[in-house]
Amino acid sequence: MKIVQAKDITQKVAQLCVEINTKLADDIDSTLKKEERQEPYPLARNILSVINENRNLAINARRPICQDTGMVVAFVKYGQEIMIKDGGIEQAIQEGVRQAYCQGYMRKSVVKDPLLRNENTQDNTPAIVHYQIVPGEVLQISVMAKGFGSENTSALKMLKPADGVEGVKHFVLDTIRKGAPNACAPIIAGIGIGGDFEKAALLAKEALFIPLDQHHKKPHLRALEKELLRKVNEMGIGPMGMGGQTTMLGIHVLDYPTHIAGLPVAVNICCYVDRRGTVVF
């Protein structure tokens, strides 16, 4: 049995929320710099250089890259041999988000009621927290600050088995073609295939945590990722939708067994500011 103090969870989550908003993950950072060097179209290269200049300013000022500091989503792997002292895990995470956004001068972007929209929660809570119980003494919290310009362009569709891989490609490419110009391209895409309605969406979100240089273990899904990346970057949408080669930095597929009658597919689109990080206790 391993003991973790609730206040340590709060402190680490708060630290992570500020850090991911201020500094791009290394894999995204290096990919953006590489794309600036490789982009052939002058206007697109210019936009990528502005993006990289803003990245430097944000790091130096220790301030958020983007004013949309997101809604926080957390995926928790909660080991059965973990005991949390002096508080509950959910409250500890929410308190970490509250402290980060209030003390870190970040934008509070959460309204209490999705239809009335007349009251901001004032501290960017609640975060959306997903738990997975796992064996052992591990406690891992992955945090994403998800911007909604890109979230709004995401989509889910219940395909038929007969639609097959071609149906999946068509839906993914169509969603990205429509969404990328409004989603602050160059985008990153998470694709969930299989499971059921909500499982596909969860997989798509989880896929946005995968480092850009990592690819699916299954050869046919690795090939699918590669083909989708190539096809999106052949669309010519470019950074901010103004034309160019650099439309998508990476795409990851996560899959799950599904029902004989179904083929759920979810496409979660993220802007290039894919704010993600993980803390392990």
Task: Map the footprint of another protein across residues 99-158, applying CB under 8 A.
Answer: 105-109, 117, 120, 122, 147, 149, 152
Do β-strands 187-195 and 248-258 pair in parallel, antiparallel, or remain unpaired? parallel
The CA-based angle 165-252-213, given to 5 degrees, is 135
Identified binder of another protein from the candidate list 244, 250, 264, 277, rule CB under 8 A = 244
Does residue 223 belong to the site contacting another protein (CB under 8 A)? no
Give 70 or 79: the residue with its C-beta nearer to another protein. 70
Stretch that binds another protein, among 88-96, 160-168, 234-242, 254-262 (CB under 8 A): 234-242
Rounded CA gap, 55 and 65, in Å?
Answer: 6
* Phi, psi at 86, each rounded to 5°: 60, 45
- Looking up tokens 């103090």, which residue turns up? 5
Give 117 or 217: the residue with its C-beta nearer to another protein. 117
Identified binder of another protein from the candidate list 87, 167, 211, 243, rule CB under 8 A = 243
Does residue 67 belong to the site contacting another protein (CB under 8 A)? yes
Structure tokens at 156: 């889910």
Give 139 or 267: the residue with its C-beta nearer to another protein. 267
Rounded CA gap, 215 and 237, in Å?
Answer: 24
Gyration radius of the chain's alpha carbons = 19
Stretch that binds another protein, among 44-52, 75-83, 85-93, 248-256 (CB under 8 A): 44-52
User: Residue 140, SS3?
Assistant: strand
Does residue 197 belong to the site contacting another protein (CB under 8 A)? no
Element (H, E) at 123: none
Does residue 43 belong to the site contacting another protein (CB under 8 A)? yes
Length of the chain: 281
Residues at the contact surface with another protein, assessed by CB under 8 A:
40-44, 46-47, 50-51, 53-54, 57-58, 61, 63-69, 105-109, 117, 120, 122, 147, 149, 152, 181-184, 235-245, 271-273
